[in-house]
Amino acid sequence: MNVLVIGGCGFIGSHIVDAFIASNHEVSVLDRGSEKFRPPLKGVKYFHDSILSIKHVQQAVKSADYIIHTASSTTPATSNSNPQEDVDNNLTGMIQLLECMRENNKRKILFLSSGGTVYGIPNTIPISENHPLNPNCSYAVVKIAMEHYLNMYAQLYGFQTTILRPSNPYGPRQSFSDNQGVIANFTAKTVQGECLTLWGTGQEVRDFLPVKDLANACVKAVEGDISGIFNIGSGTGHSIQEIINTLESIHGSRLRIHLEKRRAFDIPKVVLDIEKAKKELNWTPNVNLSEGMREYYNWLKGISSESFCGSSS
């Protein structure tokens, strides 16, 4: 089938592209940017524009059998600074995409939501898909609104919608700026010889998900033609202090740590219940934390200093 990956030049999207190519599917990409850490892929058709560009969205959607939406212009750390921009770029973009799909008689879409933020401070651990939604950042609020629009289009127009709620993805090609995930940020600062900033006590727990496992879950859902909402995580929680300890072991020396108070949007503990995905998608995570962190560390060590400087700005 022909799979359109929106945000396919980004961190998560590029791995989803790889996974579908490896499964012998035709792939096209809609992304406002270009490939950052590799040349354009042969056989992949690129539409270089924003999801807000109706003209290019129409062109990209026409030839697609399945649409995968991975793009976001914000992160949990940046979204609260300008909620209006978050809505204008991301929620409006989703609505325009759904309208383009409806007009072109395209009905199948997989959306990457956020298992790490939409549940807020959890009532129970692990967190199932039925847990109440209690967002505390604009990023999560907009993700939930996008889920609701998908549900509306499913009810009104017969869309087949699949919503994956990933935990905390990490891995090669992830941006290493201060606004990205803790593994990426800490590893980049370690490689550059800088001090790490720890927000909180180090006892905060996250469900860290290797990006290749997430990409594989997308392939399983699409090839299985399965709709519904699924948590996608490792199923295991690790504290931030464990991340530091693992990184010190990989790096071979102690790291310098600067402590800051926990931020208001930081959730103390998140571990997702992934039993539904295991059962219905026939999917299971395969990469353990140490292996995944070492792969990212080696990837960062291997990229050029120009890439480092350009992507951390």
Q: What are the residue numbers of the active site?
A: 139
The DSSP symbol for 194 reads P
Cβ–Cβ < 8 Å for 277, 217: yes
Cα–Cα distance measured from residue 27 to residue 44, given in angstroms and rounded to the nearest whole number: 6
CA 27/CA 285 separation, integer angstroms: 24
- How far is Cα 126 from Cα 244, in angstroms, rounded to an integer? 23
Q: Any residues with CB less than 8 A from the CB of 113 and at least 6 apart, and which?
A: 143, 144, 146, 147, 163, 164, 165, 166
258: CB partners within 8 A, 6+ apart: 195, 196, 197, 198
Residue 95: C-alpha distances to residues 87, 98, 102, 211 (Å): 11, 5, 11, 26
Rounded to whole angstroms, the Cα distance separating 184 from 175 reads 7
Tokens of 17: 């592209």
